[in-house]
Amino acid sequence: MAAVKAPAIITDKAQMRQWSRSMRAQGKSIGLVPTMGYLHEGHLSLIREAHKHTHLIVVSVYVNPGQFSPNEDLSTYPSDFDGDIKKIMSVPGGADVVFHPHNLYDYGKSGIESEMKREKDGVIVSCVEDRGMGHETWVRVDRLEKGMCGKSRPVFFRGVATVVSKLFNIVEPDVAVFGKKDYQQWRIIRRMVRDLDFAVTVIGSEIVRGDDGLAMSSRNVHLSPNEREKALSISKSLSKAKYAAEKGQINCTELRNSVIQAIHEAGGRVDYAEIVDQESLEAVEEIKVPVVFCIAAWFGKVRLIDNMEINL
């Protein structure tokens, strides 16, 4: 089998846009796989999915400060860019471009202060917010962002929607592929694209799990072997809840309690456990429509998310 060619690495916004437009002028379609780097098999599955839909693939590698509040883990987010390139090249067809901008919020003025701002007057701010010439335009998907992860991370989805909008405007893809492990994020991006008439088809790719069943995440590297073993209670309890629902247990309170209990008994701390409508993300009391059971839980200092769709 022929070796996969190394992708072109583009760091400049204008150059990225120029590349996309020149490819489209040649009749080529473009797929975008947005990532924050430190790639794992879950990310590589998104690249493989993108190859099914477009001629050319762009993988963005950018740790987005806009989705972190000052007390979150931006500075400790893992990074291995050289390793990311090798992993991308391990996928049949690889990627044509890796878009690796330095700072999508640097506008060449006094702009953004280097120091993270602390919570001011009780209002959570993003790391990139600043007075004067700082970034101040944000995209919000009001209702879908409020529940689940939005409760404990109030600027997270605002930052995600904004940076994805920026990436769409810079890369100008025909298709974008997102992992369904981040289920709320996937639904928010789909709604944003619908509401703002982006000419992008958003595809959700299924969760990729390790051999032990743990959903793949860049944060898994921070789990000790003992914590990882305990964290398996998330996927195991979700699977049991799905099986129970398929056997007729449709009371959501009882299903939620069973999962919460299993995670607590394993030593985890539940952030949320919600059974919601797959489209609206509104909580349901009984499973009468397609739902998704979404979990966020802490094991040690690592916050993990997972979910399981239930289609009766």
For the annotated catalytic residues, the residue numbers are 43
Q: Tell me which residue has tokens 């590349």.
A: 19
Using DSSP's 3-state secondary structure scheme, residue 307 falls into: strand
Nearest to 188 by CA among 107, 31, 198: 198
Element (H, E) at 258: helix 252-265
Rounded (5°) CA angle 180-185-188: 120
What are all long-range contacts of 110-113, with beta carbons under 8 Å and residues at least 24 apart?
111/135
Q: How many CA atoms lie within 13 A of 50 on its CB side?
A: 33
Pairing, β 291-299 against β 30-35: unpaired
Query: How far apart are alpha carbons 286 and 254 in whole angstroms?
Result: 10
Rounded (5°) CA angle 151-154-156: 110
CB 116 within 8 A of CB 73: no
Q: Tell me which residue has tokens 């952030």.
A: 271
What are residue 251's phi and psi, to 5 degrees?
-80, 115
Question: What tokens were used for 45?
Answer: 């599955």
Nearest to 16 by CA among 118, 136, 84, 101: 101
DSSP summary character for residue 67: G
